[in-house]
Amino acid sequence: MNYDFLIVGAGFAGAVCAERLAASGKRVLVVDKRNHIGGNAYDREDENGVLIHPYGPHIFHTNSKRIFEYLSGFTDWRFYEHRVKAYVDGDLYPIPINRTTINKLYGLDLSEQDTIAFLESVREAREVNTTSEDVVLSSVGPDLCDKFFRGYTRKQWGLDLSELSAGVAARIPTRSNDDDRYFTDTFQFMPAHGYTAMFEKMLDSPNIDVRLSTDYDVVKANIECGHVVYTGPIDAYFGYRFGKLPYRSLHFQHQHLSDVERFQTTGTINYPNDHEYTRITEFKHLTGQQHQGTSIVKEYPRAEGEPYYPIPRKENEALFMRYSELAETVTDVTFVGRLAQYRYYNMDQVVGAALKAVETLV
Ligand code: FAD
Ligand code: UDP
């Protein structure tokens, strides 16, 4: 079979590349080893008709008008601002830490100005924030760090905050006001009919063929194409020749509660210090679906399994650089996406990276 492009992976990276290439008249084959499109953003109805995210909760947010407008070509949107609470010492508190969190936790009645002064009094100043521990201690100090961050991070990554690059904890801001939204991006929406429906539209072109349950390693010898866009793990592409890149995995425990309309008060509740799971998400908050029952997911971090998260720390970045340098010598393959670029990318960042990669290909 003859194609201009073979795209490995039907997640955001692969689907954006396929859509752009097909729109410019190229013949594209997309293969994915899973039996569905959408990668980790895939959603579907569970056995009870509740729309769930099998690979954990996915909330779309971006500051990029360009990325939002690009995706708007394939979906309508539902306005949704995610809110998260953390279960600490038997009670629920807003996370990111804000004025409400501090007042409730310490029995105070601080104004916004007082909260700034409070944080100033507890934080441990650092010259540079190299690790995630630096980030947390220099913004909220040791007590809030232990209550909200250290245990969660240990569970999620199997590492101490001090062993992770600054960027991990820097994802979570600290606020002196009452803003309890998880994200403050300009555009915060969920695809109105779900992610999978959006992916179907992106891939719906006479120039695109999609083959599911198809592993690139198995079929690569039988497919002729001018160029490959690879969105799987970069170390796997090169047969792990420099050793395995560490990825963190998760086990998702999905549950349907048939006689409960609302399980929890916010989309997600984090459990930094209790339980083996890190968080519980109730999907109906995210999707706005009406249903007499509800479906939730608990996330249990794992060392082994599907590679969900690159692990941002110095030695891993150094190992990735070796693969990346090797990748640059392979001129007929483009590596893009969270696994191929070994970056802790959100969905919008993957879309941005794919749009950029594809520009040079078109
Ligand atoms: P993927 O979605 O991983 O797609 C890669 C695809 O390649 C997969 O489908 C895989 O099966 C396929 N593949 C790999 N190797 C092969 C092979 N050899 N042959 C064939 N196919 C192959 N981002 C947000 O913006 N907001 C969120 O709320 C959010 N929540 C998240 C929650 C969790 C639990 C996780 C794990 C991630 C979350 N993300 C979130 C990040 C988001 O999932 C990613 O940024 C995005 O889905 C990555 O897209 P991708 O195309 O790079 O990779
Ligand atoms: N984090 C934490 N406590 C929390 C929330 C986050 O310690 O209540 C830390 C933890 O290390 C986590 C990181 O901040 O992995 C990033 O959190 P985010 O919610 O962005 O993770 P994701 O949704 O990508 O799993």
Mutate which of 61, 95, 171, 175 for ligand 2 pocket (most atoms within 8 A of beta carbon): 171
Ligand with minimal distance to 270 CA = 2
Q: Judge if the beta carbon of residue 189 lies within 6 A of ligand 1.
A: no
| Residue 178 vs residues 49, 81, 296, 351: alpha-carbon distances, Å | 36, 15, 27, 31
Ligand nearest to the CA of 234: 1
pLDDT in tens, the chain (362 residues): 689 999 999 999 999 999 999 999 999 999 999 999 999 999 999 999 999 999 999 999 999 999 999 999 999 999 999 999 999 999 999 999 999 999 999 999 999 999 999 999 999 999 999 999 999 999 999 999 999 999 999 999 999 999 999 999 999 999 999 999 999 999 999 999 999 999 999 999 999 999 999 999 999 988 888 899 999 999 999 999 999 999 999 999 999 999 999 999 999 999 999 999 999 999 999 999 999 999 999 999 999 999 999 999 999 999 999 999 999 999 999 999 999 999 999 999 999 999 999 999 98
State whether the beta carbon of 301 lies less than 6 angstroms from ligand 1: no
Which part of the chain is CATH 3.40.50.720?
A: 2-37+203-244+311-361
Q: How far is ligand 2, taken at its centre, from the CA of residue 360, in Å?
A: 34
Question: Which of 42, 67, 231, 280 to mutate for ligand 1's pocket (most ligand atoms within 8 Å of CB)?
Answer: 231
- The SS3 call for residue 197 is helix
Name the residue with the closest Cα to ligand 1, atom 12: 9
Topology of 2-37+203-244+311-361 in CATH? Rossmann fold (3.40.50)
- Ligand found nearest the CA of 248: 1
Helix, strand, coil content of the chain in percent (nearest 5): 35, 25, 40
Three-class SS of residue 229?
A: strand
Based on the number of CB atoms within 10 Å of its own CB, is 27 exposed (0-12), middle (13-18) or buried (19 or more)?
middle
Total count of residues recorded for the chain: 362
pLDDT at position 1 is 66
Residue 310 Cα to ligand 2 middle (Å):
14
133 Cβ closer than 6 Å to some ligand 1 atom: no
Beta pairing class for 294-302 and 268-270:
unpaired
For ligand 1, whether the C-beta of 182 sits within 6 Å is no
End-to-end alpha carbon distance in the chain: 21
Q: Is the CB of 169 under 6 A from ligand 2?
A: yes
Point out the ligand 2 atom lying closest to the alpha carbon of residue 86. 8
pLDDT given for residue 206 in this prediction? 98
